[in-house]
Chain A
Amino acid sequence: MSDPAALSLAAAAQALRARHISSSELVDACVARIARWQPRINAFISVEQHPPNEGVPLAHKDMFYRRGRVSNCGSKIRRGWIAQETSTALSRLDTAGMPQIGTLNMVEFAFGPTGHNEHWGDCRNPWNPDYITGGSSSGSGAAVAARLVFGALGSDTGGSVRIPAAACGVTGLKTTWGRVSRHGAMPLSHSLDTIGPLARSAEDCALILAAIAGFDTKDPVSSREAAGDYVLAKKKLRVALSSDWIERHAEPEVAAAVLAAARDLGATLIEVEPPDFDTLSAHCIIVMQAEASAQHALWMRERPGDYSSAVRSRLESGFAVPAAAYLEVLRLRAAWLERFCSTTLAEADLYLLPAMNARVPTLEQTGPRGGADMPALLAELTRLTRWVNYLGVPALVVPCGFDSRGLPIGLQLVGRPFAEATLLAAGHAFQHETDWHCRAPAERWI
């Protein structure tokens, strides 16, 4: 076998079961790649070369707690903090034969969409290190794309799984609110926070989700909805989309790739009016800012200077959100969800759109010296992801092409609550017909 790290998670698991390869060989292959890539992309925070459990190695955003281990949460404030409990998601992965070989870089407290981090260093896109990975699960996107691990957990409160998946050219699943227990995962906004996998394919995401989904007595809002086995059954799907809107609002290379991918899905396509992305996104921001600020109130009072200026600014805004506005958008949430399902999805199983309207921007464009266009660029990054968190529905991002600069383009599929199996089946069918997910960044960057 040339490089075991090049296998998919599904293929590696199969090779392990057939005893064609050992767990330590898989770990060694990943560790060797990490040593080559880390200086260039800064995806890892820590590496565990001898995990206690056997299986296919994963690594996770540095916000999933493991008893006795450090979880820095991408911050200065929690640098060196040692967890007292292990998160439910990590425990379930341990049991399922997916040991953890490291912790991954992330945006400070998961509160930002680009992958910049002034405390731990910016994470860089393995397709071209001048460009962002997307965030907040920046290391998860970069590590999976560079084939440093077979999969990773991320969290998604406003797009933090889907944006790095799109920017790094991997598959990412934002789960239904409540589908995966959040016990032992750093909170940001409890009404919006979700946990989901980033991996090389929909099939690999399905394996991770099958391990972590399901009710947990330690997370009272986790759903009692039965967790499926996420079998990737073939089924003729009906997919809604708004082609005119995509052509008018997305950059031309993005629109062309996404509309071509729609045709490659092999589904019945149905044209619909787009959801009110901007209103739903504005509601998401109100909820996120208010809840994140409440979560951080103590540290914001006692040590505001220990936050980066970008994250401190986002948290300051939350203290000015009127309580009535916060509660009103939460009251409206059920009605907006029902409208989406009864209109946009009235005749369809899924809704299709780009993960991002814009092509992947550079680190400089979106960083502290980004200039006057930077706020608009940041807003555009999350314009098509936040509305999904407000509704609480699941969404899958799969790579669907590359732009003229060689950076990935992501396709997003959105489903009804608990429709993860349908999303993964659609992604798997697409990846059966295309090879975008099989492409890996060249090592010429390292």
Chain B
Amino acid sequence: MTAAKQWNNETIETMLAVQGIRLAPGRAEKIANALNAATVSGSLPLEFESDPTGYALALERCKAK
């Protein structure tokens, strides 16, 4: 996933305000910039059926034999 590039001070302040979080002065812009730069790698093939709980099984599979 590539994060949408429309985050700005107002959207950040609103998003956090609805969660009851008061931002320290100057923080909204920094968070917006970080979000606009953020990406989640889509480079690995991922089965549609995979879910986060599969990680525990992967730990077992990847142990030294």
The number of chain B residues with a CB under 8 A from chain A is 39
A282-B64 CB under 8 A given contacts A319-B16, A331-B52, A334-B57: no
Q: By the criterion CB–CB under 8 Å, are B20 and A286 in contact?
A: no
Across the interface, A319 reaches (CB within 8 A) one of B21, B50, B60, namely B21
How far apart are the CA atoms of A422 and B65 in the complex, in Å?
12
Interfacial residues, chain A to chain B (CB-CB below 8 A): 176-178, 221, 223, 225, 276, 279, 282-283, 286, 297, 300-301, 304, 309, 312-313, 316-317, 319-320, 322, 324-325, 327-339, 341, 349, 392, 415-419, 422
- Report B-chain residues with C-beta under 8 Å of the C-beta of A276: 41
- Report A-chain residues with C-beta under 8 Å of the C-beta of B59: 176-178, 223, 337, 392, 417-418
Q: By the criterion CB–CB under 8 Å, are B3 and A332 in contact?
A: no
State the majority secondary structure of interface residues on A: helix
A316-B3 CB under 8 A given contacts A176-B59, A341-B62: no
How many contacts between A and B, using CB within 8 angstroms?
112
- Report A-chain residues with C-beta under 8 Å of the C-beta of B60: 225, 417
A325-B55 CB under 8 A given contacts A313-B27, A317-B34, A319-B19: no
A/B interface sample: 19 pairs, CB < 8 A? A176-B59, A178-B59, A225-B60, A279-B41, A282-B39, A301-B21, A317-B34, A320-B31, A325-B3, A325-B38, A328-B40, A331-B46, A334-B50, A334-B55, A334-B57, A334-B58, A335-B50, A337-B58, A418-B64
A422-B64 CB under 8 A given contacts A282-B38, A319-B19, A334-B50: yes
Across the interface, A329 reaches (CB within 8 A) one of B16, B27, B40, namely B40
How far apart are the CA atoms of A325 and B4 in the complex, in Å?
11
Question: Closest A-chain residue to B58, C-beta based?
Answer: A334
- Report A-chain residues with C-beta under 8 Å of the C-beta of B19: 297, 301, 319
What's the minimum C-beta distance from B27 to chain A, rounded to whole angstroms?
5
Across the interface, B22 reaches (CB within 8 A) one of A304, A317, A330, namely A304
Q: By the criterion CB–CB under 8 Å, are B21 and A316 in contact?
A: yes
- Report B-chain residues with C-beta under 8 Å of the C-beta of A417: 59-60, 62-63
Question: Closest B-chain residue to A307, C-beta based?
Answer: B24
Interface membership of chain B positions 1-21, coded 1 if the CB is closer than 8 angstroms to chain A and 0 otherwise: 101000100001001100111
